[in-house]
Chain A
Amino acid sequence: MLAAAQRVAEVQLRYAQAGVGLAAAALAGTRQFTPMRHYPARDVRDAVAGTSFYYHAHLSRRRPEQEHGHFHLFVHDRAPVAAGKPAFFHLAGLSLDARGEPLRWFTTNRWVTGERWYDADTVLAALPNFTLEARGRRAPLARWLTAMVQLYTPQLRSLVQRRDEVIRRRLARQDAESLFEDRRLDVVTECAVSLPRTLARLAR
């Protein structure tokens, strides 16, 4: 945990010393931040680890006021899947403010990413080995996200387990297909974070 905290702080410090926050780093110099567009356009994909991420924003009314945009983190299937079936699942989303300070982790309903839906046990099995490595200017960002997942592993565990509880409760009164495609349910669970507080607590 301390090592992850150190990596998070170091990457953020290097960006900050250049006057850049994580949100600006995710945009990698883009001046026009277009809603829904992925940054980078084809995502950052770690073929070795079978993971990927991208940053974007929507103009949803349900978007938290302070949110600038968010990362989506994915784990891709290694085994071949039937044609037309999704070959990935969504691990979590991470919202940032305009200066790149993390605001919240969140999980989403299936329709949001079109993922293959797995229960919490399967999703959480990917947590301990979740890494993202990238080349080029988003490499530090990938390191930061990897360390953020490690740093917030307990919160992510709880978040995904609570996601399943919400889904389980709703399945008692709604059939699975309509629930997973229910446009009224996008963010299933969320967890506010304060990185300065998390780091300060670990530094004590």
Chain B
Amino acid sequence: MKQARKRTKLGDTLSALVVASALVAPAPAVLAAVSGNQAPSASAENPCGPSNPCAPSGKKKKKKAGSDNPCGPANPCAPK
């Protein structure tokens, strides 16, 4: 009974979602090219690593474009 109610609720939400999704605008497309100082190089060693919460901020990171983990997690504990 409880399960059936949950299914009905999901069905209702889903119906509303189908209608609402028709009005969703596409997100801006990724830029085709960027200048070298805007983002880590695509050839970076770990292009999809998390930010290092203790790593230097973005500006310092740019100086280290050739470092091992250009896309590593941001490091909140690193010296500024």
A residues sitting closer than 8 Å to B (CB atoms) are 2-3, 5-6, 9-10, 12-13, 15-17, 19-21, 23-24, 26-27, 30-38, 41-43, 45, 52, 54, 56-60, 68-69, 72, 74, 76, 86, 88, 90, 93, 98-101, 108, 111-115, 196, 199-200, 202-204
Contacts and interface: CB of A to CB of B under 8 A. Distances in A.
Given A12-B17, A17-B20, A199-B10, A32 B27 contact: no
B24 interface: yes
Interface of chain A: mostly helix, strand, loop or mixed:
mixed
A8 to B, nearest CB: 9
A24 B3 contact: no
A32 B10 contact: no
A36 to B, nearest CB: 4
A86 B73 CA distance: 10
Interface of chain B: mostly helix, strand, loop or mixed:
loop
Interface of B: 3, 6-7, 9-11, 13-14, 16-18, 20-21, 23-34, 38-42, 44-51, 53, 58, 68-69, 71-74
5 contacts: A6-B6, A6-B9, A21-B24, A113-B49, A114-B72
A33 B31 contact: yes
Contact of A42 (B26, B30, B34, B51): B51
Contacts, number: 167
Which residue, B10, B32, B48, B74, has most C-beta atoms of chain A within 10 A?
Answer: B48
Contacts of A34: 30-31, 34, 38-39
Nearest to B19: A16
A38 B23 contact: no
A103 B24 CA distance: 16
A62 to B, nearest CB: 12
Given A3-B6, A35-B39, A42-B51, A9 B30 contact: no
Given A2-B3, A6-B9, A41-B58, A33 B26 contact: no
B6 A33 contact: no
